[in-house]
Amino acid sequence: MEKSRPHVILSAAISIDGKIATRLGDSKLSSKKDKIRLHRLRSKVDAILVGKNTIHRDDPLLTVRYVKGKNPTRIILDSQGTIPVNSKILQTCNKVPTIIAVSKKISKVNLQKLKKFPVEIIMTGENSVNIKSLMNNLSKRKINTVLVEGGGTVNWQFIQNNLFDEILITITPFIIGGIDAITFVQGRGFDKIIKSPRLRLNTIKRLENYLVLHYTKV
């Protein structure tokens, strides 16, 4: 029987107080060794997925650069198709397979803008992208592993909907602080600890001053 969704790994570099970016959006927390580890992981998955705020803030390439290996498909959750035409993602989509997941709320203008690029557009959900049906769609396309690289709002949706299997967290030697700084998991959050998914700590890897924690769901 076909699996209804891909295997999902959530990944982030966090400060010791659980933030993934400062209040101004500076998210340069990772180290060279951690980037090599992350890029090796990227080369082994079928797709990388991020939310549109991460594109607007960081303008990432989401490719494999620190090691040799294939680029996974890049998936952007962008309900209204607001990704800038000069973003690195759209500027490189002729070389790296790219999916823009949008909702039915997208304007005709933004849809036409996206259609000028060689990207796949998946439309699902009324107001924001329906990630359950998106995952189902990806399975049918033989995308069997997805690395979710944030940001915090996207992470919450995957956790709240129980759509993940593993978490890889790099604890970086920084303290960010501030209520306006983005945390690893945003959204409303759980009101009771009992509602949190149960996690098993599988491995702890020390990369100099950084710690990589690998959790799986119990």
Ligand X SMILES: NC(=O)c1ccc[n+]([C@@H]2O[C@H](COP(=O)([O-])OP(=O)(O)OC[C@H]3O[C@@H](n4cnc5c(N)ncnc54)[C@H](OP(=O)(O)O)[C@@H]3O)[C@@H](O)[C@H]2O)c1
Least distance (Å) from ligand X to the CB of residue 182? 4
Residue 207 CA to residue 129 CA, distance in Å, equals: 36
Closer residue to ligand X, CB minimum distance, 20 or 45? 20
Least distance (Å) from ligand X to the CB of residue 53? 3
C-beta separation of 129 from 138 below 8 A: no
Residues linked to residue 98 through DSSP beta bridges, in sequence order:
74
Closer residue to ligand X, CB minimum distance, 12 or 114? 12
Closer residue to ligand X, CB minimum distance, 175 or 218? 175
Query: Under the rule (CB under 6 A), what is the footprint of ligand X?
Result: 12-13, 20-21, 25, 27, 29, 50-54, 57-58, 77-80, 128-129, 131, 149-154, 157, 182, 186
C-beta separation of 58 from 27 below 8 A: yes
C-beta separation of 139 from 6 below 8 A: yes
Least distance (Å) from ligand X to the CB of residue 107? 12
| Residue corresponding to tokens 């082994």 | 44
Closer residue to ligand X, CB minimum distance, 160 or 218? 160
Closer residue to ligand X, CB minimum distance, 73 or 158? 158
Least distance (Å) from ligand X to the CB of residue 189? 13
